[in-house]
Amino acid sequence: MRKAILSSLIAIFVSFTINAQTPQELADAWDSTHITDKEPSDVRHSDLKVYLEKLRAQGVKIAEIGRSNADREIYQMEFGSGPMKVFLWSQMHGDEPTATSALIDIFSYLETHKDMPWVKELSTKLTIRAVPMLNPDGAELYTRRNLQGIDINRDALNLATPEARLLKSLQQQWRPSIAFNLHNQQELTAVGRSGKQASISFLVVYGDEAKTETDGMLRNKRIVSAMVKAIEPFIRGHIARYGDDWTPTAFGDNFSAWGTPVILIETGALVGQKELYLAKINFIAIMTAFSSLATGSEAAGSTQLYDTLPHNGSGTLVNFIFRNARRAPNGKGSNAVVDLALVSARRRASFTTSIRIARVGSVNGLRGLEEFDAAGFYVVQRFGNLAPGKLAEFYFYKMDRDIDWKAKDLTERFEPDAIFSGGMWAKGEGLLPKV
Ligand SMILES: [Zn+2]
């Protein structure tokens, strides 16, 4: 009797342990185990190889499964030996790198924690394969397209690229039960009209234009709902649904059509947070998806959180807004009060960004990720006029200074009070208050 009680207690304890991976525990797991140490956009193919060597040393199964146009190796990682086949691919667009780092950390964690009950359960229920960098040439050049200038994600039917031929063959030969298509979206993508960045957007990708609601689609909606619930505490209000137009030449749509229902995850940005933070959010989301598939808990879940996600919005966010600046009376236009909206180009984290003026005058309807009140300052554009399209390199002068605006060597004779350059304060940070 006592033995029976003890063993049922053990059973309760074990099942408790299996189900006990809370989102916070997953976040802590990433914090204490992640092996990625570069910002994802700085990870080149050679850096990926360094990561993969570490994974190999841990025991992760890694195979070279193909080559790019420039003969760069394309790899696949594998974990588990269960009957349900789960496939993921990342960075088919070379400048969309966040999930690549998340996948590295996921496989590292799974391999080094395979004795934990919940990981053991994953490995007996699922076989997980992931291609961490499908477009290594694009990743090297930091471009969306491959070396032929072709968007691999519009090449699912033409198959003009070696990367697309490889991706299709991976689906056709293995026939996964579910796949995750991992991308990045623009950092200025918003959650509806909320003025908040969409840091993660999801889409359950239909397999036909009529959006037929198959069992696979419903399962994927429940899984996305579980992922939303898991990551919401970390990025509350920053989760949206990606647009679901049928794209006949894209891979997600065709994987779904070929019998592998796809979940699209698009990572955006979160102002004030580094890229690796969103790799961590990917880690939490994808681990949650694995867990809900392995335990079958998704079957009892609801599609509601997915169904009620706000849609992605665009056209409302800019990187910076300066409000109430006054044009300097230096002969280049009147000294009117203007608002300035600025946007920056996508870039690697370690590269200087080019920031351009998007709007001068009224910025009604726009919200800046960062906003400054420039009231009381004259603004001088370093290169020519304050006009849309120009680089945003600004000198700010307090209005109560006595300045000869016609001076040829203006900035040498009259040092600016604040300088905004490359999206940062080169001088006078804090002088213009944040709005
Ligand atoms: Zn993409």
Give the tens place of pLDDT for each residue, 85-116: 999 999 999 999 999 999 999 999 999 999 99
Note down the domain range covering 365: 317-427
My answer on whether 147 and 178 are in the same domain is: yes
Q: How far apart are CA 139 and CA 121, in angstroms?
A: 34
pLDDT of residue 8: 56
My answer on whether 417 and 368 are in the same domain is: yes
Q: How far is the CA of 97 from the centre of ligand 1 (A)?
A: 9
pLDDT of residue 343: 96
Residue 48 has pLDDT above 80, yes or no: yes
Residue 17 has pLDDT above 60, yes or no: no
Q: How far is the CA of 32 from the centre of ligand 1 (A)?
A: 29
My answer on whether 298 and 234 are in the same domain is: yes
Q: How far apart are CA 22 and CA 60, in angstroms?
A: 24
pLDDT of residue 6: 56
**Nearest one of 171, 200, 434 to 306, comparing CA atoms:** 200
Q: How far is the CA of 38 from the centre of ligand 1 (A)?
A: 21
Domain stop point among 313, 343, 358: 313
CA 280 to centroid of chain Cα atoms: 10
Q: How far is the CA of 153 from the centre of ligand 1 (A)?
A: 8
Q: How far is the CA of 31 from the centre of ligand 1 (A)?
A: 27
My answer on whether 136 and 59 are in the same domain is: yes
Q: How far is the CA of 96 from the centre of ligand 1 (A)?
A: 6
| CATH code for position 77 | 3.40.630.10
Q: How far is the CA of 185 from the centre of ligand 1 (A)?
A: 7
pLDDT of residue 171: 98
Handedness of CA 48, 272, 307, 300 (dihedral sign): positive
262-276, 321-335, 372-386: least confident range = 321-335
My answer on whether 344 and 307 are in the same domain is: no
Q: How far is the CA of 251 from the centre of ligand 1 (A)?
A: 11
* Domain-located, residue 392: yes
Q: How far is the CA of 34 from the centre of ligand 1 (A)?
A: 24
My answer on whether 112 and 171 are in the same domain is: yes
* Domain-located, residue 343: yes
My answer on whether 297 and 334 are in the same domain is: no
The b-or-e profile of 278-314 (16+ CB within 10 A means b, else e) is bbbbbbbbbbbbbbbbbbeebeebebebbeebbebbe
Residue 375 has pLDDT above 80, yes or no: yes
pLDDT of residue 331: 65
- Number of structural domains, the chain? 2
How does pLDDT run across 237-296, given as a tens digit for each residue?
Answer: 999 999 988 999 999 999 999 999 999 999 999 999 999 999 999 999 999 999 999 999
* Domain-located, residue 124: yes
Q: How far is the CA of 30 from the centre of ligand 1 (A)?
A: 24
DSSP per position, 284-349: HHHHHHHHHHHH-GGGGS-SHHHHTPPBEE-SSEEEEEEEEEEE-SSSSS---EEEEEEEE----T
Q: What are phi and psi of 371, to 5 degrees?
A: -130, 145
Determine if the pTM surpasses 0.85.
yes
Q: How far is the CA of 360 from the centre of ligand 1 (A)?
A: 31
How does pLDDT run across 380-428, given as a tens digit for each residue?
Answer: 998 878 899 999 999 999 999 999 988 888 999 999 999 999 999 999 9
Q: How far is the CA of 92 from the centre of ligand 1 (A)?
A: 7
Q: How far is the CA of 357 from the centre of ligand 1 (A)?
A: 26
Higher-scoring residue by pLDDT: 339, 16 = 339
Per-chain mean pLDDT for the chain: 94
Q: How far is the CA of 4 from the centre of ligand 1 (A)?
A: 55
| CATH code for position 373 | 2.30.40.10
Domain stop point among 313, 336, 365: 313
